Amino acid sequence: MSQSIVEELEPLINPRSVAVIGATNNWNKWGFSTFASTLNGFEGEVYPVNSKESEIMGHKAFARVTDIPAPVDLAVFVIPAASVPAVMEDCVAKGVKASVIISAGFAETGEKGKKLQDEVLRIARKGGIRFIGPNCMGYWSASSKLRAFMFPMPVKDGPLAFVSQGGNVGGAIVMSGYQRGVGFHRYVSCGCTADIQIEDYIEHFGEDPEVKVILTYIEGVSDGERFLEKVKKVTPKKPVIALKGGKTAAAAKAVTSHSGALAGSDEAYDAAFRSVGVIRVDSPEELLDVALGFLTQPLPKGRNVAILTPGGSYGVLCADACALEGLNVIELPDKTIALLDKVFPPRWSHGNPVDPAGDRNFISYMTAPLKLLRVEEVDSLIFMGFGGFSIFASMFLSADSASLESVASWMPSQARFQELAPVFTRVLGSKDAVKISRIIHPVISMAASMIGVQDEEEIAELVELIASAIAAGRIDPSFFIAPPKSGDSRATLRKGALKEMTSVEAIERFLAALAEQWVANYNKPVITTTFAEGQPRLLGSHYAYPSGRQAARVLIKLVEYKEYLEKAGMHRG
């Protein structure tokens, strides 16, 4: 009985011991950085193999793999290509179960290199060794905490899995993910794919319950039918997002010299991807953008979108981007226009995009999405500039002391606070949104009065939204509880508590929780943007994109996947 792909790759994914062949103390060689990377976090045994050095970074070195006195599950090759076949023979003799061939100089160099690669493959198969590469940059497995990379690279565990035929592209995306706050459960730089093919990795990721979204960078596949057959079994369960290099003749030529793959017709790949539900993107940045969209948003029911923007120009650009992607910026019903008329000044846009034209009523901004998401015809919402609302924190922090005292006047005296704190903590920590609403209503009302908002219906709607987010665990109750410090005067306590509550980081997380709650309440995508304030990061399950164009691109990819599932007779919420 043949093994499943999970069983076949188990020694690779979860090795208990690793030999780094070519490890060295010479910092100017890849064997140095590869050995250092492998040592970083791996809890099993790591053995350096080098015939010229007796000790490497404090570890006893062995001249050959066969000299290691303990079992070796995985061998990492960082030696010249010509030496790989003989050392692979040693690995077979030793009983090594898997390997990673980082070494270059194989099929990507031409016919001679291809023959060398075939010889390595023949030897490995003789011993039942499955291997990554050659000509790759290594891999990461979160379950074994193994960073078998050419050089130490920041990466953390997370819901993504990624197989990349290009090491530089792969490494850049992994590091960008780290900076954005999202991790990878598996990452493989697969190189020339002499043994394990891209579709094998995708199949394995599809079976891994820790993986939610699969990414791949492809230059070419060796067996198109096999690729499609395997991948079409994965896409109904999990999104597979692909970046395909080699669209032009110049790039196709570069592909051959890089990974030894045949780039193939771009139109053929496009049609093949669509036929099995693979979502194709156009850049490394978009690969991660769309992955984050799948992680944080439900699939939209259709192509109709509403846009909310604090500025008209950004709304125009977003509407352009949506229309160009095939999304419908729909006309809003009269009843929704009437509701927005009640809360926005007469100068607001009276249409979609919804532009309040510079209105400073923050509460109306936060309740407008509710009015839009309730519209049955609206399938998704893009909220422009939402990621920039944390600047309101600095406005509060720079307010004069009288304003601080006014906002904080709802807080009781220190003695009274000590008496009420357990009640606040118990209620805010409960799952009862109604009781939570009663506790936080005075805070929201006081903040509303500061900016001239007296509409009780608006305030009550925001209170209900926040209370639901607290009850669902999306907002930390401590945001509304500022325990007094011993010896603080009442005035000092109030100012200190307010500053703690309105820090930029706290406001960012608070806003992200509101966006999550909109999604939870209506099961519709709510995709937000910043105003180009730098690299956004994942906050909980919310991510704000830098532009309306990126938001529109992500949204259309969610739509395309939904439409594929429906066409194939599948359903995925």
Residue type, 150: M
Query: What pLDDT does residue 410 have?
Result: 47
- Return the H-helix or E-strand segment holding 562: helix 548-567
Checking if the pLDDT of 241 tops 90, the result is: yes
pLDDT category of residue 510 using cuts at 50, 70 and 90 = confident
- Which residues make beta-bridge pairs with 382? 307, 527
pLDDT category of residue 43 using cuts at 50, 70 and 90 = very high
| Integer Cα distance of 15 and 9 in angstroms | 10
Of residues 59 and 417, more confidently modeled:
59
Checking if the pLDDT of 286 tops 60, the result is: yes
Mean pLDDT across 63-84? 98
pLDDT digits (tens, 9 = 90+) for 12-27: 999 999 999 999 999 9
Q: Nearest Cα to 243, choosing from 205, 197, 186, 285?
A: 285
For 139, list phi and psi in degrees, rounded to 5. Answer: -155, 170
State percent of the chain over pLDDT 90. 66
Mean pLDDT is lowest, of 156-170, 206-220, 443-457, for 443-457
Q: Nearest Cα to 463, choosing from 495, 430, 437, 502?
A: 437
Mean pLDDT across 222-240? 96
pLDDT category of residue 124 using cuts at 50, 70 and 90 = very high
Query: What pLDDT does residue 431 have?
Result: 82
The pLDDT mean for the chain works out to: 86
Checking if the pLDDT of 454 tops 80, the result is: no
Query: What pLDDT does residue 424 have?
Result: 59
Mean pLDDT across 260-266? 60
Backbone CA torsion sign across 417, 423, 424, 429: positive
Asked if 20 contacts 62 with a C-beta cutoff of 8 angstroms, the reply is no
Cis before 15? omega within 30 = no
- Return the H-helix or E-strand segment holding 394: helix 391-397
Q: Report which listed range, 94-103, 447-456, 487-496, is most confident.
A: 94-103
Asked if 132 contacts 190 with a C-beta cutoff of 8 angstroms, the reply is yes
| Integer Cα distance of 413 and 417 in angstroms | 6
Say which residues have a Cβ less than 8 Å from residue 165's Cβ, sequence separation at least 6.
190, 191, 193, 198, 217, 218, 219, 220, 245, 259, 261
Mean pLDDT is lowest, of 136-150, 388-402, 525-539, for 388-402
Residue type, 153: M
Mean pLDDT is lowest, of 334-343, 399-408, 490-499, for 490-499
Length of the chain: 573
pLDDT category of residue 235 using cuts at 50, 70 and 90 = very high
pLDDT digits (tens, 9 = 90+) for 395-449: 544 444 444 444 445 444 445 445 555 665 676 667 888 888 887 888 788 777 7
Asked if 517 contacts 468 with a C-beta cutoff of 8 angstroms, the reply is yes
Checking if the pLDDT of 281 tops 80, the result is: yes
Give the angle 129-130-136 at the CA atoms, nearest 5°. 125
Query: What pLDDT does residue 532 have?
Result: 61
Query: What pLDDT does residue 403 have?
Result: 44
pLDDT digits (tens, 9 = 90+) for 76-109: 999 999 999 999 999 999 999 999 999 999 999 9
State percent of the chain over pLDDT 70. 83
Asked if 381 contacts 305 with a C-beta cutoff of 8 angstroms, the reply is yes
Give a three-class secondary structure readout of 5-71.
HHHHHHHHHCCCEEEEECCCCCCCCHHHHHHHHHHCCCCCEEEEECCCCCEECCEECECCHHHCCCC
Mean pLDDT across 231-236? 97
What structural domains does the chain harbor?
1-135 (3.40.50.720), 154-296 (3.40.50.261), 298-390+510-567 (3.40.50.261), 398-506 (no CATH)
Query: What pLDDT does residue 364 have?
Result: 84
Query: What pLDDT does residue 230 have?
Result: 97
- Which residues make beta-bridge pairs with 149? 138
Residue type, 243: L
pLDDT category of residue 393 using cuts at 50, 70 and 90 = very low
Asked if 84 contacts 77 with a C-beta cutoff of 8 angstroms, the reply is yes
Checking if the pLDDT of 480 tops 80, the result is: no
Checking if the pLDDT of 570 tops 90, the result is: no
Checking if the pLDDT of 61 tops 90, the result is: yes
pLDDT digits (tens, 9 = 90+) for 520-535: 999 999 999 987 656 7
Burial tier of 14 (Cβ tally within 10 Å: 0-12, 13-18, 19+): middle
Query: What pLDDT does residue 475 have?
Result: 84
pLDDT category of residue 131 using cuts at 50, 70 and 90 = very high
Cβ neighbours around 67 below 10 Å, total? 13
Checking if the pLDDT of 489 tops 50, the result is: no
